[in-house]
Amino acid sequence: MLNLDQYSSLGAALRDAVDRWGDETCLIESDRDRERTRLTYSDFKELALPLARALEDAELHAGERAAIIMSNQSKWLISAYAICYCGAALVPLDYKLTAAEQLQLLAHCKAKFAIVEYYLWRAMMQSPDFKILQALVLVTEAPLSADLGSAFRWEDFRRKGDPVFVPRKREDVACIVYSSGTGGRPKGCVLTHENYLEQCKSLTTWYPFWPGVRYLSILPTNHAIDFMVGFIGPFVCGACVVHLRTLRPEFVRDAFVRYKITHVSLVPMVLKNLERGLRAKFEALSAIKRFVLDYFIALNKSFTRARPNPKLSRRLLPQIHKAFGGELVAMFTGGAFMEPSTLEFFYELGIPVANGYGLTEAGTVLTVNDLKPFRADTVGKPLPGVELRILNPDSEGIGEVAAHSKTLMSHYLDDPELTAETIVDGWLLTGDLGRFDGKGHLQLFGRKKNMIVTEGGKNIYPEDIENYLWPEKTLGREMLMIALRLEEGQEFASALKDEIVSRNRRLPDFKRVGGYLVWEKDFPRTASMKIKRAVLAEEIGKSRERTAVSEL
C-alpha cells in the first residue's frame, strides 16, 4: 500500500493510488444477476478527470463544499475523487433521509454543488423546502427526456483537457459528515485530511488490504465505516470494491460466490440474519451429517484458538466456506451491540468477525478486535495512535469513554458551543459508558444519556439488561420495561416468556425488569441501524392506551 505519512491530503494519496495500480480492477457494480460496470484504476481515472475539469470550469474552488446523495455505485466514488481532485470539501449525505432533511442539510453546510441520484432529485423538486436549495445540482442516471429544472445531467457534465490538481494541507477540511440522527440540531462533523490519513494508516496496520482483495460494499458509502473501508482503504492499497444495486439476500449471497469476496462490513442486524439462516440449514441436516459437521467445527475451534487460520478452516469446513465464495478472510461489524454468541458462532466456522467501536466524531473506528486472540465479549483494543480513558468510573469501573487521537474531528460545523461540550482539552467525550478489562480490551455498557439512576443510587444501563435478557420494572414511580419486536410469523409463546423470566431472576434486584410489551411496528432506527431510543419511548408513550403492558 501507499506510505500515507508522505501525503498531505486525501486527494494526493488517491491520485497516486490511481496511477500506481492502473491495471488492477478497482470497481465492480452489479445489479441483481447482471454486472453493469467493471473498471480498472485507469478506467476510473478516465471517467473522473473530465468531471473534475468541468467542476473546475464551474468554479468549484478549494475548501468549497460539494455534496453527494446517492446509493452505493461507481458514480459515487468517481464523483468523490473528482471533488477531492479540485481541493473541495466533500459532504456525503444519507440517501435514505427524506427530501426535506436532505435539503435542510444542504442548506446547513452551504453546499455549492450537489450530485444527486435521479429518483432522489425528483423527490427534492416536489418538496415544500425545495426553495431553500442554493447548490448547482448534477443528476445521475436521469432519462434524456427528464425535466431536471435547473440541474444538469451528471453524464453530460464533462470538459476536455487536464484539470489542475489542487493540493491541500493536512489541517484543511476534507469532509463534513453528519452524525446519526438528523432531528433538531444538525451535527456536521468537520473532518480533516489528517483525520482520514491517520485513520486509514491505523486500520491497515492491523487489517491490511492488497491488490486482489475484493471488498463487498453493503453499508451506505456515505456512512463513516464504508467511506473508509469501502473507498479510501481499498484504493490506497490497490484493492477492488464491489457495489450491489440491490441488497436482497439472495443477490448478496450470490455476490460472495461470484466475486470471491475477501472482506465485508455488516451491521449487527444483518450478521444476525446470516447466523439464523446458517443455523436453520444446520438444523435441517440428518443426524449423521450434523454429527460430522459438529466434529469438524470443534476441530477447527481447537486449531484456531490463538488466532484465525483461514486456509485450514476452508479445508475442514469446505461447504460452508464455498457458500461465502471460498476466499472470505474477515468480516467487520460495529455501530450497535453484537451478541458474543453470534461472533463465536462465525469464528468457530473459520469466519472471523472483527467487532469494533467508533463514532463519526472520531473519524471511523477507535477500537477493534485484532483477533490475537479472538474475543467475543469486547469491542477490542484501541487502534495504534488512539488513547482512551474512562472518566469518573463507578465501583464497577464503568465510566464515560474519552478518546484522544489524530483522527478526532476538528469541530462541529458552525456550532462552537456543542464543540466545546464535546471536545474538552483535546479529549472527545463520547457519551458512551465503558470499562477496560485486565487485558486492555474495551467493554461497552450503553449510552451515558440512557443510564437510569435509581432512588437507591444504583446505576442501570438499559443496553446491559437488553444484552442479558435480549425488555416494566417499578423504580419508585418509574417503569423499567422491555419492548419486544417479534419476527414475522412468530408468536409470544409461553416458552419465550419463561426464558425471559428465568434470565430476569438471575439479574440483581435493582436491574430486573417488571414487565414487557410486544411492539408490532419496526423499531425506529438510524442510518447505521441503531435503535432511536428517545423516538421509540415517545411512540410507546403516545400509544400507551393501545399498548398492552404485561407483568413479569
CB atoms within 10 A of CB 443: 17
Decide if pLDDT at 245 tops 70.
Answer: yes
The pLDDT value given to residue 182: 39
Number of domains the chain is built from: 3
Grid coordinates belonging to 22: 492502473
Average pLDDT score over the chain: 89
For residue 270, name the pLDDT band (cuts at 50, 70, 90). Answer: confident
What span, in angstroms and rounded, lies between the C-alpha atoms of 378 and 355?
A: 8
Give the CA diameter of the chain.
Answer: 73
Are residues 112 and 32 part of one domain? yes
Alpha-carbon gap, residue 83 to 89, rounded angstroms: 7
Of 328 and 245, which is predicted with more confidence? 328
Q: pLDDT at residue 147 above 70?
A: yes
Position 462 scores a pLDDT of 58
Q: What percent of the chain has pLDDT over 90?
A: 71
Whether the per-residue pLDDT at 13 is higher than 60: the answer is: yes
| pLDDT value for 279 | 94
pLDDT tier, 181 (very low <50, low <70, confident <90, very high otherwise): very low
Quick check: is 36 in a domain? yes
Kindly indicate the confidence band of residue 28, based on its pLDDT and cuts at 50, 70 and 90.
very high
DSSP 291-353: HHHHHHHHHHHHHTSSS--HHHHHHHSHHHHHHTTS---EEEE-SS---HHHHHHHHHTT--E
Query: Which range is least confidently modeled, 186-200, 333-347, 366-380?
Result: 333-347
Looking at 250, 285, 302, the residue that finishes a domain is 250
CATH number, domain containing residue 535: 3.30.300.30
Closest CA to 221 of 380, 34, 68: 68
Centre a 10 Å sphere on the Cβ of residue 233 and count the other Cβ atoms it contains: 25
pLDDT classification of 507: cutoffs 50, 70, 90: low
Do 196 and 289 share a structural domain? no
Same domain for 307 and 234, yes or no, is no
User: pLDDT for 100-109, tens place per residue?
Assistant: 999 999 999 9
CB atoms within 10 A of CB 423: 20
Q: What is the CATH number of the domain that holds 81?
A: 3.40.50.12780
pLDDT of residue 249: 80
Residue 539 — pLDDT band, cuts 50, 70, 90?
A: confident
pLDDT at 4 over 50: yes
Residue 454 lies in a domain: no
With respect to residue 193, please indicate whether it lies within any of the assigned structural domains.
yes
CB atoms within 10 A of CB 421: 11
The answer to whether residues 211 and 102 belong to one domain is: yes
Query: Which residues are within 8 A (CB) of 13 and not within 5 positions of it... i.e. 6 or more apart?
Result: 2, 4, 7, 197, 236
Domain shared by 341 and 371, yes or no = yes
Q: Same domain, yes or no, for 284 and 238?
A: no
Same domain, 104 and 83: yes
Structural domain includes residue 201: yes
Model pLDDT, residue 176: 98
531 — pLDDT class (breaks 50, 70, 90): confident
Q: What are 374-423's pLDDT values in tens digits? A: 999 999 999 999 999 999 999 999 999 999 999 999 999 999 999 999 99
Give, for 497, the enclosing helix (H) or strand (E).
helix 494-505
Strand order from edge to edge, sheet including 411-412: 152-153, 136-140, 113-117, 65-69, 89-92, 173-178, 188-192, 411-412
| pLDDT for the residue 376 | 93
Q: Which of 424, 448, 472 is the last residue of a domain?
A: 448
396 lies in the same domain as 430: yes
Segment (H or E) for 381: strand 381-382
- Structural domain for 158, as ranges: 4-250
Q: Are residues 320 and 229 in the same domain?
A: no
| pLDDT tens per residue across span 482-495 | 777 777 667 766 77
CA angle 528-268-284, nearest 5°? 145
Closest CA to 197 of 406, 381, 26, 15: 406
Residue 455 lies in a domain: no
Please check the confidence at residue 235 and state whether its pLDDT lies above 90: yes
Helices (H), 145-267: 193-206, 224-227, 233-237, 249-258
Residue 477 is predicted with a pLDDT of 43
Distant-in-sequence, close-in-space partners of 477: CB < 8 Å, separation ≥ 6: none
pLDDT at 83 (0 to 100): 98
Rg from Cα positions in the chain = 24
Task: Give me the percent of the chain exceeding a pLDDT of 70.
Answer: 87
Q: How confident is the model at residue 456 (pLDDT cuts 50, 70, 90)?
A: very low
Which of 250, 274, 302 is the endpoint of a domain? 250
When pLDDT is cut at 50, 70 and 90, the band that residue 343 belongs to is very high
> Residue 241: left if φ>0, alpha if ψ -120 to 50, beta else—which one?
beta
Same domain assignment for residues 32 and 44: yes
Q: Provide the pLDDT for residue 516.
A: 75
Which CA distances in Å does 505 have to 189, 260, 339, 461, 514? 43, 47, 20, 17, 11
Q: By three-state DSSP, how is residue 122 classified?
A: helix
Burial of 7 (0-12, 13-18, 19+ CB in 10 A): buried
Check residue 501 and give its pLDDT: 74
DSSP-assigned letters across all residues of 185-206: S--EEEEEHHHHHHHHHHHHHH
Instruction: Summarize the confidence of residues 112-132 as an average pLDDT.
Output: 97
DSSP 8-state class, residue 245: S
- Residue 340 binned pLDDT confidence (cut-offs 50, 70, 90): very high
Same-domain pairing of 273 and 404: yes
Catalogue the E-assigned strands of 78-135.
89-92, 113-117
Question: Could you report the per-residue pLDDT of 347-380, keeping only the tens digit for each?
Answer: 999 999 999 999 999 998 999 999 999 999 999 9
Q: How far is CA 496 from CA 464, 466, 492, 516, 550, in A?
A: 19, 15, 6, 12, 14
Report residue 490: phi and psi, to 5°.
Answer: -80, 140
CA atoms within 13 A on the CB side of 479: 17
Q: pLDDT at residue 438 above 90?
A: no
Decide if 482 contacts 468 (C-beta within 8 A).
no
> pLDDT tier at 480 (50, 70, 90 boundaries)?
low
> One-letter amino acid identity for 237?
C
In a domain, residue 151? The reply is yes
In a domain? residue 284: yes
Same domain, 64 and 180: yes
